Amino acid sequence: MNILVINGPNLNLLGERSSDIYGTKTLKEIEKEMRSAAKGNKIKFFQRNGEGEIINIIHKHIKWADWMIINPGAYTHYSYAIRDAIEVCKIKTVEVHLSDISKREAFRKKSVIKDVCKKQIKGLKEKSYIKALEFCISNGKK
C-alpha cells in the first residue's frame, strides 16, 4: 500500500515546542519510527505550513495514496478547505494529534475534519502516529 503522511503548520518545530504537550521527538525522529513500522508499505512524508500547500499535496496524491495520515495542526480547528480536500480526494484518512485536543483550550476541542476521516487518534504524543500507521496497515486497501 501507499501511505501519505502530512504534517501541518509548526510541526517542523517538534522537539523544541512545548514538550510537555507535544513530546520530545522531532518530526525527523517520528518519520524514522514510522518507516521502521511500515511493514513494507511505501510511505511519503510532507510537512507544510501553508493551507494551500497542504491541499496541493493532497490533490497530487489522489491516485497514488491508499491511505493518508494527517496532522493539520491548528488548521484542524477551522480549515473547511482542508476538510473539503480530504472529502473530495476520497483517500481513506486518519486524523492524528500528539496532544489530546479534547482536553485543551475550547478552540482546540473542535475538529472540522473529523467527520471526513475514518479515525481520529490523539493524545499519545509521537505514538499517535504509530497507532495511525497500524490502523491503516490493519485495514488494508479495502
Least Å from the CB of residue 90 to ligand DQA: 23
- The angle, 0 to 180 degrees and rounded to 10, between the axes of the packed helices 27-36 and 127-139 is 30
Q: In angstroms, give the least distance from the CB of 113 to ligand DQA.
A: 11
Catalytic pick from 61, 80, 97, 129? Answer: 97
Q: From CA 91, how far away is CA 98, in angstroms rounded?
A: 22
Angle formed by the axes of helices 80-89 and 51-60, to 10°?
A: 0
Task: Please give the C-alpha separations between residue 97 and each of 1, 112, 132, 142, in angstroms, as whole numbers.
Answer: 23, 14, 10, 24
Interface with ligand DQA (CB under 6 A)? 10, 71, 73-74, 76, 97-99, 101, 108
Nearest-angstrom CA–CA distance, 135 and 115: 17
Instruction: For residue 97, indicate whether it is catalytic.
Output: yes
To ligand DQA, the closest distance from the beta carbon of 13 in angstroms equals: 9
Smallest gap from Cβ 140 to ligand DQA, in A, equals: 26
**129 flagged as catalytic:** no
Residue number with CB closer to ligand DQA (3 or 98): 98
The closest of 142, 13, 133 to 69, measured between CA atoms, is 133
CA pair distance 61, 59, nearest whole angstrom = 5
Catalytic residues: 22, 97
